[in-house]
Amino acid sequence: MAGYASVYAAWKSDPEAFWMDAARRIDWDTEPSKALFDARAPSFAWFADAKVNSCFNAVDRHVAQGRGDQLAIVHDSPITHSTRGITYAELRERVASLAGALRAKGVRKGDRVIIYMPMVPEALEAMLACARLGAIHSVVFGGFAAHELAVRIDDAKPKAIIAASCGLEPGRIVHYKPLLDAALASASHQVDFCVILQREQEVAQLVEGRDVGWHAFQYGVEPADCVPVEGDHPAYILYTSGTTGQPKGVVRDTAGHMVALQWTMKSIYNIDAGDVFWAASDVGWVVGHSYICYGPLLAGATTIVFEGKPVGTPDAGTFWRVIEEHGVKALFTAPTALRAIKREDPHGERVRDYDLARFEALFLAGERADPDTVTWAQQHLGVPVIDHWWQTETGWAIAANPLGIEQLPVKIGSPSVMMPGYEVHVLDEAGERCDPGTLGSIAIKLPLPPGTLPTLWNADERFRRAYLERFPGYYETGDAGYIDDDGYLFIMARTDDVINVAGHRLSTGAMEEVLASHPDVAECAVLGVADALRGQVPLGLLCLNKTSQRPHDEIIKECVALVRDRIGPVAAFKRAGVVERLPKTRSGKILRGTIAKIADGTPFKMPATIDDPAILDDIATVLRALGYAGDKR
């Protein structure tokens, strides 16, 4: 097999031929005449004149190829103490039945359907049933607040909503149906009907004339066949938070999405048909779309749907149990999950309780993978630990270590090298390219590759303003970092998290790396807070290992000395506090901007995606003790 350098060079020298070759791994109803359609640049389309169906490629073709008895989905729920498997043949029947029921109620190609589900196989079935009909699904994270759900209902204007009666968290039931009812009560747009999956943990009250039960809804219906759609037909809308408070509806086109994901499953993750792949995420996030649902199924792999947490269901060994029991070849998770495990089990003792012989690689994404966490995983798991970087908008990795092409040397702290389709440049404030090793804004030369967003839902102008305006000819990622002399990319922070200390642009990520190297620190965040003299100064918040018994003042003093030693006095790092937990989104990203606003005493809106709002009260208390405003206004 050709190595990475020759594969990337082949793309760069002839992108059209490269993507047309990748497209041969998809089963087309009408093959594309070409890959890139650029008549409306800077808006681009891929494989636009083809006809194709995502559900057929993800499900039906594997049955037709004689692999109907292979497991397609394994649902593992340590919360309900249950495991069940669904074969490709069973999945085809279940999806065709649900699609037939949706069709009988009037759902057609181009209609939108919102899916509001927990981590159960039926969530994937709902996505695939929409794809089968050419309907456009929009998955909203299960348990999302009623107001946020209402905003998405009004933006997408769905014909129907598919939901569950409840979701399950350790020790509690999350009541979905009252949230759904409240959202519909406040939304301007009204749906034709709601389909409710009743879970045994909670049976919800149905609204007569609007709500139908999952099983009764499908009783006696004619199963639906796959409906071919145009290559540039939207497969889904996925809302991501916007700076204005109005969420951005990222659109994913059907054909480019499939071609890109099919290519990544082998080239990046080294996953073939029959392998077991586990993305420990949620269907509500882009990882859930790309690598719980579509990617593994397009590849003919078995995908794990996990309803649990890295710790507490029941302990820090649950990930390793899942890997052993289901023969997982590769795990994809967020660094925050590993940090939670490391905090509970700093010496990796639980890892040794399980047989991980079939486990070959750990992939990390979603936030910066700090070197201490990567080193811990390498040491205790004994497999390649592959950091890679991508965004909701791109749908797949911009930079990675392509295990299925060639395992490149790992540089801890870097998501490695650019993937075919992505020409990444680091730009200064004037839009000029930075020298190697110089921190700047990371931008991607247009056109973006297949599988990335062509626009935002019903918001072309907002798409251009948000991503294309600042650096003409480029897509602005919103991330800051640098490229080294070997072409390895280093993502140091969101652009907003690069702080200006007395005229020096400093990366908060670099400081976090130093703090995380302290043996007592399990997790940390550094943010810039207002300072009358220097403009901004860094403030550190530290979560300590559960086993740490030392006085907090001693640890803080050592951490301040570490930053001064490794980054220098220019960082002006002098203050830090110890907190029990850091406020995060449900996908694991630390809410640094919100913490900074609390410290500065500036007004802020409670983030809709926060996993536990009560944490902010604890943060405010610590910040007040450090002399900051600590005022939630």
With beta carbons less than 8 A apart as the criterion, state whether 508 and 526 touch: yes
- pLDDT single digits (tens) 442-498: 999 999 999 999 999 999 999 999 999 999 999 999 998 999 999 999 998 776 666
Model pLDDT for residues 156-191, shown as the tens digit of each residue: 999 999 999 999 988 899 999 999 999 999 999 999
In the chain, what are the domains? Answer: 502-625 (3.30.300.30)
Helix axes 335-344, 371-381, angle to 10 degrees: 70
- Within 411-491, residue ranges assigned H as helices are 460-463
Strands 248-253 and 234-240, sheet pairing: antiparallel
Please state, in angstroms and rounded to a whole number, the distance separating the CA atoms of residues 112 and 126.
12
Residue 32 is predicted with a pLDDT of 98
What sections of 348-468 are H helices per DSSP? 371-381, 460-463
* pLDDT tens digits for range 193-251: 999 999 999 999 999 999 999 999 999 999 999 999 999 999 999 998 655 557 799 99
The pLDDT-based confidence of 633 (bands split at 50, 70, 90) is: very low
Find, among 396, 369, 358, the residue nearest to 267 by Cα. 396
pTM for this model (two decimals): 0.86
Nearest to 47 by CA among 217, 203, 258, 307: 258
Q: Is the pLDDT of residue 615 over 90?
A: no
φ, ψ for residue 329 (rounded to 5)? -85, -40
Burial of residue 40 (number of CB atoms within 10 Å: 0-12, 13-18, 19+): exposed
Residue 339 has pLDDT above 70, yes or no: yes
Q: What percent of the chain has pLDDT over 90?
A: 76
How far is Cα 13 from Cα 425, in angstroms, rounded to an integer? 18
Query: What number of other Cβ atoms are within 10 A of residue 444's Cβ?
Result: 22
Q: How far apart are CA 390 and CA 398, in angstroms?
A: 5
- What is d(CA 481, CA 495) in angstroms, rounded to the nearest whole number? 9
* pLDDT over threshold 50, residue 401: yes
Can you tell me the distance from the alpha carbon of 453 to that of 438, in angstroms, rounded to the nearest whole number? Answer: 28
* CA 244 – CA 242 distance, rounded (Å): 5
